[in-house]
Amino acid sequence: KHVPYERTNYEFFLMMESDRAGELLSSMAQTGLLEAIFSDLKATRQVTANQFHHLGLFEHSLECVRQTELYIRTCPDWAKESAAQTIAHGVSRLSATKTACLLHDIGKPGTWEVTEEGRHTFLGHDKLGATMTTELAKEHRWSKQLGRFVAGLVKWHLRPGHLFHQGPPTEKAINKFYRKIGDDVPELMMLAFGDLGATRGADFTEAMRENLAENFRRLLDGYPAFRERENRMPRLLSGVEVMELLALQPGPAIGEILEALEEAQSLQEVTDVAEAEAFVREFWRRKNQ
């Protein structure tokens, strides 16, 4: 018998509010109930442990929720306050974040390859997972805001780690990350910490894990100061002014130009209207070379 999605949504997100959601999800998994609700999780049981993951993918997804709950106990109060906010009727950002933890790797089965050297790869699983989450949200009749939020966390869950792949990132790269993720930074970092805690394969040493955890802490801790700077920063040019300056019609290019201008302004490469106009002209000229 099919239970209305409204009922399962209510019961599921109520459960996810608990600080024992990871444990409860494991109990649901043992009975098959979890996969009855989220059928996309079935395929994750096929993905085995590998050089970076000591658990199979299904177990890793459950452990990610548990590790996120452990991390939340010690995360900054301002991040907890963000997660406590409501994102949909009866659903907090925290319960939605833990749902993203459960679903963050659902794109892996569809991108799984094993190289001749025996290495497991999942190229593009973040984007595929975000697409699958968007479809899941529609099927389960989540609100648009809730669906966008969870799919967004799935889409960007690799981004914090990617920042540190080639050593310390530049201030420009960090600011770009903050600006791209926006108000979802604290929740994305909760997912990142949970994912990190659930990843203990042989090729991922304890020293590597500790180093990445410290980088994640600094990344999260730097966000409030970034927001304060951004809030104090005056807007030098509007979208309309950019269109007039470059004789452009409304479109995605305007947002791209404004984003680049804000980035330059935050790095104090641009400080007044004249410099902003010069920057915009040069940016557009280079883009169209």
* Interval 272-276 mean pLDDT: 94
**Residue 149: what residue type?**
F
Report which secondary-structure segment, H or E, holds 92: strand 91-92
142 with 69, same domain? yes
79 with 112, same domain? yes
Query: Closest Cα to residue 130, out of 158, 91, 90?
Result: 158
241 with 225, same domain? no
Tens-digit pLDDT profile for residues 195-237: 999 998 888 888 999 999 999 999 999 999 999 988 888 899 9
CA distance 44 to 8: 22
186 with 264, same domain? no
220 with 257, same domain? no
Q: Which of 20-34, 64-78, 150-164, 230-244 is least confident?
A: 230-244
Whether pTM > 0.85 for this model: the answer is: yes
Asked if the model's pLDDT at residue 67 lies above 60, the reply is yes
30 with 82, same domain? yes
Among candidate residues 209, 230, 251, the one where a domain is terminated: 230
Among candidate residues 230, 245, 264, the one where a domain is terminated: 230
CA distance 142 to 145: 8
- The full DSSP string for 29-43 is HHHTHHHHH-GGGGG
What are residue 90's phi and psi, to 5 degrees? 75, 10
46 with 108, same domain? yes
62 with 194, same domain? yes
165 with 255, same domain? no
CA distances from 115 to 2, 112, 118, 119, 121 (A): 42, 10, 5, 5, 8
Q: Which of 100-104, 153-157, 201-205, 223-227 is least confident?
A: 201-205
The number of residues in the chain equals: 289
108 with 250, same domain? no
Contact 56, 108 (CB under 8 A): no
Tens-digit pLDDT profile for residues 9-45: 999 999 999 999 999 999 999 999 999 999 999 999 9
Asked if the model's pLDDT at residue 1 lies above 70, the reply is no
Among candidate residues 192, 209, 230, the one where a domain is terminated: 230
Identify the DSSP state of 75.
Answer: S
64 with 45, same domain? yes
Burial of 7 (0-12, 13-18, 19+ CB in 10 A): exposed
Residues with Cβ < 8 Å from 195, sequence gap 6 or more? Answer: 64, 67, 101, 104, 157
For residue 98, the enclosing domain spans 5-230
Tokens of 288: 């169209």
Query: Closest Cα to residue 194, out of 79, 30, 62, 3?
Result: 62
Query: Closest Cα to residue 22, out of 59, 71, 65?
Result: 65
- Structural domain count of the chain: 2
Paired with 92 in beta bridges are: 86
92 with 177, same domain? yes
* Interval 179-185 mean pLDDT: 95
